[in-house]
Amino acid sequence: MSDIKYNIFYVSLKNDVTSEDTIEKLAKLPKISNTKAEKIISTENKIIKSGLNKKDANIYRSYLDKIGMCVEIHEETEETHV
């Protein structure tokens, strides 16, 4: 099994969604309050989840894409570990 870990990097919201709708949907994730969801959405170009295996990173990316967030998966390095 691979020890490579991945980060979810939030780029921006998609053009066809509102921040209010996305915050509401993001807050449905475990351990994400409305306040934390607002903070995540307000800060573009930032790592929002780290230490994931490839499968979990793809699950996160899929969900975040569906709720209107543009995200990328980056391989975790010593410099990007949060």
**Of the candidates 35, 36, 55, 44, which has an alpha carbon nearest to the alpha carbon of residue 14?**
44
Residue 1 placed within a domain: no
| pLDDT (tens digit per residue) in 20-77 | 999 999 999 889 999 999 999 999 999 999 999 999 999 999 999 999 999 999 999 8
**Rounded CA separation 8/12 (Å):** 12
Q: Model's pTM, two decimal places?
A: 0.85
Whether 38 maps to a domain, the answer reads yes
- With respect to residue 81, please indicate whether it lies within any of the assigned structural domains: no
Residues near 59 by beta carbon (within 8 Å), at least 6 away in sequence: none
Q: How many domains does the chain have?
A: 1
pLDDT for 42-54, tens place per residue? Answer: 999 999 999 999 9
Q: Which domain covers residue 60, as residue numbers? A: 6-75
Q: Is residue 68 part of a domain?
A: yes
Q: The CATH number of the domain where 71 resides is what?
A: 3.30.1390.10
- Strand order, beta sheet including 6-13: 46-52, 6-13, 69-75
Q: Which two tokens stand for residue 74?
A: 């980056």
